[in-house]
Amino acid sequence: MNNLALKDQQNSNIAIKNNMIIEKLKQHGTLLAFLFLILVNILITPNFLQIQTLYVNLTQVATVAIVAIGMTLVIASGGIDLSVGALMALAGTIAPLIFLSDFALMSPVLGLTLAILVAILAAAMGGLFNGFLISRYNIQPIIATLILFISGRGIAQVLTNGELQTFDHASFEFIGTGRIFGVPFQAIITIVIALSMAWVLRRSIYGRFLLAVGGNEQAAKLAGVPTAKIKMITYMICGALAGVAGIITTAINSASDANQTGQLMELDAIAAAIVGGVLLTGGKAPILGALLGACIIQLVGYTLLANGVHDAVAMIAKAIIIIAAVYMQQMKGAK
Amino acid sequence: MTITTKTAASEADTAANNSVQPILQMRNINKAFSGVSALTDASLTLMPGEVHAIIGQNGAGKSTLIKVLNGAHKLDSGDILYQGNPADFNSPHEAQVAGISTIFQEVNLIGYRSITENICLGYEPTRFGMVNWKKAHAHARSMLARFGLDLAVEKPLQDYNIAIQQLVAIARAVALNAKVVIMDEPTSSLDDKEKEVLFKVIRELQASGVAIVYVSHHLDELFQICDQVTIMRDGHTVAQHAIKDISKLQMVAAMLGRDIADFSDQTSQNAAQQPFSEVLLEVENLAGAGVLCDVSFKLHRGEILGLAGLLGAGRSEVARAIFGLDKERVKGKICVDNQQVSYDQPIDAINSKIGFCSEDRKEDGIIPQLSVRENLTLALMPKIAKNGLINETKEREIVTSFMRSLGIKASSMEQPISQLSGGNQQKVLLARWLATEPRILMLDEPTRGIDVGAKAEIQNLIKSLAKKGMTVLMISSEFEELVDGADRVIVIQAGKSVSEITSENLSENAIVQAVAHEAPRSSLTKGSAA
């Protein structure tokens, strides 16, 4: 009798332990998936453990990761931003216009600084415009951001007469191709942005209010949260980050192409944010998750490419990752 | 007990008077949502040509009953007999085809299409495979003419006001040969004149043998238009009466689940220890927000003032108006400390030390994804932050002390609030407001939907806060709670503050009498004639 009871106890202990492991798996699914991918690559991809591979991947993932961080904030507020790709094009076009101007030729340092600041500011204003439409006129985010999705790229094309602007500007190109202690500069930018945003979300009133607005806007409003202001700030940050990504893209290419810069970026960023564990219903903003999500999508693409799988298949693989991520989210929600 | 015997009697009565078969019978209907029972053994008998009211408090199961009837919800067990045959509708559409139409509060028609299209949708008269518009318009006109309406049927429906839209919805139902028409709060957005038109239409339908299910919380209306009333409480249909056999007082009693005799005359124990003299909040002629038409009262420092009234009387709207919500829709004067105020948004009210713990925890109380800590300090944020950064040490201290003093049971302050019991969630929300150290705390149904133990704790807490000098405006549907807790009660009826019950007269019986007292609204016919 006693023995049996003891066994029961042990069994239930094991069951609890198993549950805890499953729980942990669910909690850190994204990270585990990432580690698994690395392991697979070490086994099958030739030359994977070379520093060069790391740098190639870092260079390619930086822009998606930066935009995905902004997207995570927006989604956490209960919205979505389709205009990020267009805002990248806008910022990417404005910067060369400034640093190639006569003024910048006379004072290069000021010219370059202005070029970067104005470009980011323009993208931020685009974001503010989104936020204004959404919070002031209660337009649904998907519609409100569709306006700049269409017209933002249009503005960029008008600014350049639809032509490709090529340039040769070593200081600006450093943003896209430079290295510090061997690490790609854009990777450093990405990490700095991710860490500082994660810190802001954790420590600031803004972060708390953002999650409250996304979690239950009515309740947040009753508790004195300035919901409209929070939404405007959020879309503005998202726009500014898209601007940063646009500048990096332009710097990598040594050319600004209003037609191509940031194409389909909105979808990549949303995908990365979702894989990173953001809740589409709002109220949760895993910044480092978005970073990880972007890395996973990047790494899958790289794995397939490095192993000679066709590009089209890589797109299907991306879709599968998103499905898996959504499934995992629902499992988490179901507990 | 008296109620049950009466039910049997009145049922026998109806059966004797009408040899007609009921058009619809719902018997022993049970329905639960994820384990929580919404209907238990609910029954409804509907005779042709009768207007049958369904009344009950919030959450009594009225809407669920309607939705089970029209096929929007599937019933768990029980029978529905329609025209003597078992009926099982899979959707409101199926029910409509069979002759059971539902007219919702929010009209479910297509606003940008013409009245004709809305009336004829799905069975347009055709000629050579095309819609015969001439015939369709004529049909629509004739349907509306039955109700004495002459409208430009070619115009989009949205060009007309809600009342007309509702009538068009009814016309559509009739055009579809409805035998049963369900109306959910049909008068909630109508003015007196529009109501008259609606009632005329209802009588017209009634005369042609259509049975009408009439859901409303305006009890006065029922006496004008209804024949029978079924009273619901906690998912049960507790009584059915012929309207002529029941008084408003009895209705209220049955809705609250009490016998009139049970309402105690015991006056409040709080007989003013000290007279409250200093007026802290004064509300004058508050109107608007859809329901309020004239609310005035004074709230003294250190007092617990109760706001009583039936569902939909406008109690919550008073608190919301004071708190700076719905500002553009509210008129009237609000004074705090003898200064007239007009808060644009909640934060302004919070800054002048007013707190408002709202009625619906899920809807506008908790932020489910956030932890107990984050929920508790939400309204306090600006005060525990510097340069936009939260002082976490201070935050934790505050949370710890409130969790201890209110006895909030959670595994830790980091546990998501959604995992807590209703009572503990409510305590967190109370703490959210107490932490802001308000001068005036407005509590809307502070103990709704929580267990008995937590309820008593919260009620005691409110009393002890008032003793320490906090001023409380307490809204409650439970008269017992008001008698026990409040120093004075203001009764609101149909958006008007109609009476004041002072502590020496404060008893459940006094409140119930005041709430059920003939409302000014019942003089509707006189009013519109004048």
Write the DSSP string, B234-266: TTEEEEEEEGGG--HHHHHHHHHT--GGGS--P
Q: Please judge whether A204 and B389 are an interchain contact, meaning their C-beta atoms are less than 8 angstroms apart.
A: yes
- Chain A residues in contact with B367 by the CB 8 A cut-off are 211-212, 215-216, 219-220, 283
Q: Please judge whether A219 and B346 are an interchain contact, meaning their C-beta atoms are less than 8 angstroms apart.
A: no
Name the residue with higher pLDDT: B20 or B135: B135
- Cα–Cα distances in Å, from B443 out to A128, B409, B417, B430? 37, 21, 20, 9
Q: Which residue of chain B has the CA closest to A201?
A: B389
Domain presence at residue B117? yes
Assign B288 a pLDDT band (cuts: 50, 70, 90).
confident
Structural contact between residues B146 and B207, judged by C-beta atoms closer than 8 angstroms: no
Report the alpha-carbon distance of residue A128 to residue A228 in Å, rounded: 11
Report the alpha-carbon distance of residue A335 to residue B217 in Å, rounded: 39
Interface of A with B (CB under 8 A): 203-206, 208-209, 211-212, 214-216, 218-226, 279, 282-284
- Which 3-state string (H, E, C) describes B447-506? CCCCCHHHHHHHHHHHHHHHHCCCEEEEECCCHHHHHHHCCEEEEEECCEEEEEECHHHC
pLDDT at residue B523, rounded to an integer: 37
In B324-441, which residue ranges form alpha helices assigned H by DSSP? 346-351, 361-364, 372-376, 392-405, 422-434
Q: Which residue of chain A has the CA closest to B419?
A: A335
CB atoms within 10 A of CB A22: 12
Nearest to B170 by CA among B158, B160, B180: B180
* Ordered structural domains, chain A, with CATH: 33-328 (1.10.3470)
Nearest to A222 among B356, B368, B392 (CB): B356
pLDDT at residue B266, rounded to an integer: 66
Domain presence at residue B422? yes
Q: Is B367 touching A (CB cutoff 8 A)?
A: yes
Report the alpha-carbon distance of residue B58 to residue B64 in Å, rounded: 12
Q: Please judge whether A224 and B346 are an interchain contact, meaning their C-beta atoms are less than 8 angstroms apart.
A: yes
pLDDT at residue A15 tops 70 = no
Contacts of B466 (CB under 8 A, 6+ apart): B302, B303, B304, B472, B487
Domain presence at residue B499? yes
Q: Please judge whether B367 and A209 are an interchain contact, meaning their C-beta atoms are less than 8 angstroms apart.
A: no
Assign A226 a pLDDT band (cuts: 50, 70, 90).
very high
- The total domain count for chain B is 4
Report the alpha-carbon distance of residue B47 to residue B180 in Å, rounded: 10
Assign A7 a pLDDT band (cuts: 50, 70, 90).
low
Report the alpha-carbon distance of residue A217 to residue A282 in Å, rounded: 10
Q: How long, in residues, is chain A?
A: 335
- Chain B residues in contact with A196 by the CB 8 A cut-off are none
Looking at the complex, report in whole angstroms how far the Cα of residue A230 sits from the nearest Cα belonging to chain B: 13
Q: Please judge whether B345 and A205 are an interchain contact, meaning their C-beta atoms are less than 8 angstroms apart.
A: no
pLDDT at residue B128, rounded to an integer: 80
Domain presence at residue B30? yes
Range(s) of the domain holding residue B127: 107-177
pLDDT tens across B431-489, in order? 999 999 999 999 998 987 777 777 888 888 898 888 888 999 999 888 888 988 899 99
Residues B14 and B79 in one domain: yes
- Cα–Cα distances in Å, from B135 out to B140, B155, B176, B177, B182? 9, 16, 16, 18, 28
- For position B476, which CATH number holds? 3.40.50.300
Report the alpha-carbon distance of residue B179 to residue B210 in Å, rounded: 5
In chain B, pLDDT over 90 holds for what percent of residues? 29
Tell me which of A75-79, B414-418, B477-481, B517-521 is least confident.
B517-521
Q: Is B344 touching A (CB cutoff 8 A)?
A: no
Q: Please judge whether A211 and B325 are an interchain contact, meaning their C-beta atoms are less than 8 angstroms apart.
A: no
Residues B334 and B214 in one domain: no
In chain A, pLDDT over 90 holds for what percent of residues? 54
Q: Is B4 touching A (CB cutoff 8 A)?
A: no
Looking at the complex, report in whole angstroms how far the Cα of residue B311 sits from the nearest Cα belonging to chain A: 21
* Residue of B381, B396, B418, B432 best to disrupt the A interface, most CBs of A under 10 A: B381
Domain closes at, from B161, B177, B193:
B177
Looking at the complex, report in whole angstroms how far the Cα of residue B378 sits from the nearest Cα belonging to chain A: 6
- Chain B residues in contact with A215 by the CB 8 A cut-off are 367-370
pLDDT at residue B9, rounded to an integer: 44
Structural contact between residues B519 and B316, judged by C-beta atoms closer than 8 angstroms: no
Domain presence at residue B269? no
pLDDT at residue A69 tops 60 = yes
pLDDT tens across B322-359, in order? 998 887 778 889 999 888 988 888 999 999 999 999 98
pLDDT at residue B33, rounded to an integer: 78
Residues B189 and B234 in one domain: yes
Domain presence at residue B270? no
- Chain A residues in contact with B379 by the CB 8 A cut-off are 223-224
Q: Residues B252-256: what's their mean pLDDT?
A: 82
Nearest to B150 by CA among B195, B109, B115: B115
**Tokens 């509300």 belong to residue:** B283
Residues B379 and B468 in one domain: no
> Number of A:B CB contacts under 8 A?
82
Domain closes at, from B377, B410, B437:
B437
Q: Residues B400-419: what's their mean pLDDT?
A: 90
Domain presence at residue B333? yes
Pairing relation of β-strands B228-233 and B130-131? Answer: unpaired
Residues B444 and B524 in one domain: yes
pLDDT at residue B96, rounded to an integer: 85
Residues B27 and B75 in one domain: yes
Structural contact between residues B351 and A168, judged by C-beta atoms closer than 8 angstroms: no
Tell me which of A234-243, B19-28, B94-103, B515-524 is least confident.
B515-524
Residues B90 and B211 in one domain: yes
pLDDT at residue B12, rounded to an integer: 45
Q: How long, in residues, is chain B?
A: 530
Nearest to B390 among A203, A219, A224 (CB): A203
pLDDT at residue A71, rounded to an integer: 96
Structural contact between residues B314 and B291, judged by C-beta atoms closer than 8 angstroms: yes
Q: Please judge whether B374 and A223 are an interchain contact, meaning their C-beta atoms are less than 8 angstroms apart.
A: no
pLDDT tens across B260-275, in order? 666 666 666 555 556 7
Q: Taking a contact as any Cβ pair under 8 Å apart, which residues of chain B between 391 and 410 contact chain A?
A: 392
Domain closes at, from B201, B235, B261:
B261
pLDDT at residue A142, rounded to an integer: 94
Nearest to B379 among A203, A204, A224 (CB): A224
Looking at the complex, report in whole angstroms how far the Cα of residue A208 sits from the nearest Cα belonging to chain B: 8
Looking at the complex, report in whole angstroms how far the Cα of residue A211 sits from the nearest Cα belonging to chain B: 8
Name the residue with higher pLDDT: A161 or A241: A241
Residues B316 and B445 in one domain: yes
Residues B70 and B194 in one domain: yes
Q: Which two tokens stand for residue B458?
A: 């919260």
pLDDT at residue A151, rounded to an integer: 94
Q: Is B373 touching A (CB cutoff 8 A)?
A: no
Nearest to B347 among A205, A226, A284 (CB): A226
User: What pTM was estimated for this model as a whole?
Assistant: 0.74
Residues B85 and B195 in one domain: yes
Residues B14 and B61 in one domain: yes
DSSP assigned state of B267:
P
Name the residue with higher pLDDT: B530 or B260: B260
Q: Please judge whether B389 and A211 are an interchain contact, meaning their C-beta atoms are less than 8 angstroms apart.
A: no
* Residue of B367, B377, B418, B419 best to disrupt the A interface, most CBs of A under 10 A: B367
User: What is the full DSSP assignment across B74-110?
Assistant: --SEEEEEETTEE---SSHHHHHHHTEEEE-SS--S-
Assign B507 a pLDDT band (cuts: 50, 70, 90).
confident
Q: Taking a contact as any Cβ pair under 8 Å apart, which residues of chain B between 121 and 140 contact chain A?
A: none
pLDDT at residue A332, rounded to an integer: 62
Residues B332 and B451 in one domain: yes
Domain presence at residue B266? no
